Amino acid sequence: MADNASPDNATDIRTAPTRTQDRPTEVTAAGIARLAGVGRAAVSNWRRRHADFPKPVGGTETSPAFALRDIEQWLRDQGKLAEVPLRERVWQQLVGHPAGAAAALRQAGAVLLLAHDRPAAWQQLRAAADDAELTGVLPAVLDAVLAARLGPGHPVRGLTREALAPSAALVRATGDLAAADGAAAAYDFLLGRHLDANPRQYTLTPPGPAALMAELAAVAGPSGTVLDPACGAGALLAAAGESTAGEGDAPGTLYGQEADADLAALTALRLALGVPDAQVRVRAADTLRADAFPDLSADAVLVHPPFNERNWGHDELAYDPRWEYGFPARTESELAWVQHALARLREGGTAVLLMPPAAASRRSGRRIRADLLRRGALRAVIALPAGAAPPNGVPLHLWVLRKPGTTPPAPQLLVVDTAGPATGARAGRDKPDWQSVRTTAVEAWRAFDRDGGIEEQPGVRRSLAAIDLLDDDVDLAPARHLPPPAAAGGPAELARVRERLTATLARTTALTPRPDAAAAGPARWPLTTVGELARAGALVLRAGGAGTAPAGGAAPAVLTDHDVIGGGAPTGALPEAPAPGPAEEPVLLQAGDVVVPVLGGGAVARVADDSTAGAALGRNLTLLRPDPAALDPWFLAGFLRGTANNRRASSYASTATRLDVRRLQLPRLPLADQRRYGQRFRDLAAFEEALRLTARLGEQLVQGLHDGLTDGAVTPD
């Protein structure tokens, strides 16, 4: 979801526990402050100073609750509500609805679908009816729209006259939001807020893996059908619709099934609004126990199944015809989902499942894996980087399956590792480089699917005959079958690494600083501080860490404190902008800026060059932008790295050393003398970078020789 929200939003408004149709939506002081864009203290002052401030209708003495309708009217009369974003007002009404946020979101989504599909009818209905008439007429109108888009038996239930009676204000505000933002964007925001406010209740598939899975399945055309039997919030089905929208076609029908009835209803509305050209059929039921689409033959199946589920129906489903490749053990729920996906595919159809890595190697599933290989059903296992999807500490796998036809292909398995150093996918410490992951996985799968095999790329991809995998373990983990890059290249690859190392060592020797003649004693320069230079206008000081990424837009990479300390390229990413409101502008680097870590970095300062320019400044970093007419950047950075200088400017009030950049000192020298020092500091920086490269190449050569000797690619001689 593009919009993020704090879970604290869910506590701003409270729900009355009794007769929901008779109780108004309530809001606490925190919710009032959020509505008016002020602090809690301001709300307390209003209550004391204004006799007409609404009286509490619930809550406790220390945390009273007020009727949202009365609060909004009071704020409007006082002129304090005009600048509150409409999105925020609708969200407050939704989360504080007496029937609960999920029920209110169903109502809001149905109204948005009506406004999207039948805008003229909605406007006419809204203009002609008062609140009582509106909520009285709406149920029949909404039922007709939902039946037309979601089919009979859809999960969006409970839109009765009684349920809608306390929702007139929400209904009208939702219509206003549809007119302002568009129905699809409005629902995307509201659903995103709801999911973000309940992070422990839902396991979501992130956009990166969802888009990759949809692209691997490659369903296009108006007659295509896609099934997700564990659809959750609908990320995979939405990605399937988006993957073909740019080509002019959306899948003909999106089928989904979800055990949580509330989530199934919300997902159905999301898909109906987000992929308007597709037919949407979402049902609420336990898929393995009560399959809603037993006769479906889909073109593609996309699944992010629940992992390590013991209560999946093992005892009651022993004789189910879906177990064509073997009855899964109680501990192998993922292999039950694999076989369900194959059972719902047409011949030649493709299924892509997000799987835990243990499913590729657990002994309890080896017989099913063996049969999947023998019959040509399992076509590829693709390892993703850690952090791709929850649980983020585990490098998950993608399994790509193809429903065998009457003449199955020669059993071959493609194994791909998108997380290895050879792919470049590990650009950041926490976030995978999804462009690199996508390119590696999609190119390998398309070539393999087209040709029935693929040229081996050490450490990245390999095509294996199924018979070579049918041992006692049937271990399909890609890492077990991909030789490391250096060893696979043999002596030739190791020789190239050695040549680079030799050349770098020679450059390091040439760059080794030569101590000049020692001065007679310590210099007695007149000194100034960074703070004084900033006050005089000789440089500009900026703190890092601010900034958010625009929803759906391009965002710069972030230079982190680890990048500065390690001398690497920017690897961080901006957080998404919390809705409502625009993205917050980050501090962007320019060539010649000096960047200093302020927390535990030691004596470090880095001058930004053209390759770093344009990156956003990360947390725990301070930027110094010198006036080139007054300060040389390399002179500035060099003197800031002095050990004694850092010791004087550091604070030890906590467990970490914190640097007060304003207290750092440097001498007052003419610009010509600054440049002399600056050139020497620039030479030292080049020497330092050469040393880093030498260390990396040395590690690569040593590990390559170990790998080559242990697998026989290199002999002891």
pLDDT digits (tens, 9 = 90+) for 489-519: 567 777 888 888 888 888 777 777 776 655 5
Distance CA 164, CA 327 (A): 47
- Residue with the larger pLDDT of the pair 656 and 506: 506
Reduced to 3 states (helix: H, G, I; strand: E, B; else coil), residue 413 is: strand
Distance CA 98, CA 170 (A): 12
Mean pLDDT of 102-131: 88
- Residue with the larger pLDDT of the pair 612 and 229: 229
Q: Is the pTM of this model over 0.85?
A: no
Determine the pLDDT at residue 311. 93
Distance CA 145, CA 693 (A): 63
pLDDT digits 0-9 by tens, 180-210 = 888 999 999 899 888 887 877 888 899 889 9
Determine the pLDDT at residue 6. 35
| Amino acid making up residue 544 | G
- Residue with the larger pLDDT of the pair 371 and 520: 371
Lowest mean pLDDT of 531-545, 632-646, 696-710, name the range. 696-710
Determine the pLDDT at residue 13. 33
Determine the pLDDT at residue 409. 67
Question: For residue 143, what pLDDT band results from cuts at 50, 70 and 90?
Answer: very high
pLDDT digits 0-9 by tens, 461-487 = 999 999 999 998 999 999 889 877 655
Reduced to 3 states (helix: H, G, I; strand: E, B; else coil), residue 392 is: coil
Instruction: Tell me the angle at which helices 131-150 and 261-274 cross, rounded to the nearest 10 degrees.
Output: 80
Determine the pLDDT at residue 431. 65
Q: What angle do CA 451, 453, 456 make, to 5 degrees?
A: 130
pLDDT over 70 at 397, yes or no: yes
Determine the pLDDT at residue 212. 94
pLDDT over 80 at 17, yes or no: no
Reported for 431-438, long-range contacts at CB under 8 A and 24+ positions apart, including other chains, are 431/387, 431/572, 431/573, 432/208, 432/384, 432/385, 432/386, 432/387, 432/388, 434/208, 434/212, 437/208, 437/212, 437/384, 437/385, 437/388, 438/208, 438/211, 438/212, 438/215
DSSP symbols for 339-366: HHHHHTEEEEEEEEEEE-GGGGT-GGGH
pLDDT over 60 at 244, yes or no: no
pLDDT digits 0-9 by tens, 334-371 = 999 999 999 999 999 999 999 999 999 999 999 999 99
Q: Which residues fall within 8 angstroms of residue 287, CB to CB, at 6 or more apart?
A: 229, 230, 257, 259, 340
Q: Which pair of structure tokens corresponds to residue 12? A: 């701003």
Q: Which residues fall within 8 angstroms of residue 28, CB to CB, at 6 or more apart?
A: 11, 12, 13, 14, 59, 63, 64, 65, 66
pLDDT over 60 at 436, yes or no: yes
| Amino acid making up residue 22 | D
What is the spatial order of strands in the sheet that 606-607 belongs to?
Answer: 539-543, 621-626, 594-597, 606-607
CA 311 to chain centre: 29
Mean pLDDT of 68-74: 82
Determine the pLDDT at residue 77. 84
Distance CA 178, CA 639 (A): 57
Determine the pLDDT at residue 429. 43
pLDDT over 50 at 9, yes or no: no
pLDDT digits 0-9 by tens, 113-123 = 999 999 988 88
Paired strand residues for 596: 622
Distances (CA, A) of 422 to 72, 427, 462: 58, 11, 13
Q: Which pair of structure tokens corresponds to residue 3? A: 């919009």
Reported for 38-43, long-range contacts at CB under 8 A and 24+ positions apart, including other chains, are 38/80
Q: Name the phi and psi angles at 368, rounded to 5.
A: -65, -45
